[in-house]
Amino acid sequence: MIDLHLHLDGSLSIEDFNYLAERNHIYLGDNFPENVYVPNDCKSLEEYLTRFDLPCSLLQDEFSIAYVVSSLVNRLYNDGYIYAEIRFAPQLHTLKGMSQENAVIAAISGLNFALKDKEGFDANLILCCMRQSPVEVNMHAIELADKYRDKKVVAVDLAGPEAFLTGDHYTSLFDEAKKRNLNIIIHAGEACGSEEVIRAVDLLHAQRIGHGVHLELTKENIRKMTENRITFEFCPTSNLQTTSLPDYKAVPIREFDKYGIAVTINSDNMTVSDTNVLKEFRHLYKEFNLQKYEVRHFLTNSINASFTDYATKAMLLNELNKKIDSYYDLIIKEE
Ligand SMILES: [Zn+2]
């Protein structure tokens, strides 16, 4: 499997929580571990985002960040993944004085440590800017993505509550990212509508859109997305939990694909959403009777849209060929 949209702080294992809580003297709450998952009656993206407070409180020093990156990579590899891009906002890890830069260095070291003994697998990092943060804090994340671009940092992203401010408030930030030739992802068309996806592409130079399920498939929009080779990172379960979509049937995977818009399937947050890419494909298989060639097609979209070099993409295509039969067997198998 491949996950291009995977938030580090939303994907700590229960063991990570227990270990870091003891080490860092943090109380996990009376209702742990239920309180790490999104509640069944979650009403909005804003409510969903409150689930990140506890994991972030554990990740305020270099050791903890390196530890969870390493743990996540080990779990992905053991679950049969071949590639992942793990994203996090370095600014959320500065509450106890750690610098954004040291958070990035720690994540890189945890990643490299875990990758050392892994064949047929690779992973990279994406640095998130946050919609609700001051421009200078976000600008520093852009600078760090540039500084560490050859050390496993492959892109910048804009995350956080989408309804906070519209995309046109972030043009200086992403003009700078574009000037530095960084890869750009924007969370858009999740809590808000089609117009935010258009702003992300027209104003913020997005190459990939996080979610984007609310894009209206007008002739003009289809042309814009295909001509600019925009890839969409769908995260179905997360969209249902934030009430962005009513059910799996509403995931516009067939519609986007029909018009030649590249769609990928991702988890968003393995723990907060209690999911992974295999489970996401299972939901889509049940709803749309996805065939093996379609699963291969969507995973190939992920390889094509990954921010990695050609040699790694060739390796991933080779690994996908070897693994597609077993992936599909797992997807269609009843749990
Ligand atoms: Zn996300």
* Band (320; pLDDT cuts 50, 70, 90): very high
- The residues annotated as belonging to the active site are 190
> Which residue, 317, 245, 251, 261, is CA-closest to 285?
251
Percent of the chain with pLDDT over 70: 100
Residues 6+ apart with CB under 8 A from 289: none
> Which residue, 176, 189, 170, 178, is CA-closest to 130?
170
pLDDT at 335 over 70: no
* Region 2-332: CATH code: 3.20.20.140
| pLDDT, averaged across the chain | 96
Q: Which two tokens stand for residue 232?
A: 């969409």
Query: What are the tens digits of pLDDT across the range 180-234?
Result: 999 999 999 887 889 999 999 999 999 999 999 999 999 999 999 999 999 999 9
Residue spans of the domains in the chain: they are: 2-332
Query: What are the tens digits of pLDDT across the range 142-165?
Result: 999 999 999 999 999 999 887 788
Whole-number Å distance, alpha carbon 61 to ligand 1 midpoint, is 23
> Which residue, 226, 240, 235, is CA-closest to 253?
235
| Global confidence as pTM | 0.97
- How far does CA 180 lie from the centroid of its chain? 22
Whole-number Å distance, alpha carbon 272 to ligand 1 midpoint, is 11
What gap in Å lies between CA 247 and CA 267, rounded to an integer? 16
β-pair partners for 84 = 3, 123
Whole-number Å distance, alpha carbon 175 to ligand 1 midpoint, is 22
Whole-number Å distance, alpha carbon 85 to ligand 1 midpoint, is 12
Whole-number Å distance, alpha carbon 299 to ligand 1 midpoint, is 18
What pLDDT, on the 0 to 100 scale, is given for residue 79? 97
Query: What are the tens digits of pLDDT across the range 33-68?
Result: 999 999 888 888 888 888 999 999 999 999 999 999
Q: What are phi and psi of 260, to 5 degrees?
A: 80, 15
Query: What are the tens digits of pLDDT across the range 97-146?
Result: 999 999 999 999 999 999 999 999 999 999 999 999 999 999 999 999 99
Distances (CA, A) of 105 to 149, 249, 287: 12, 41, 42
Whole-number Å distance, alpha carbon 235 to ligand 1 midpoint, is 8
pLDDT at 258 over 90: yes
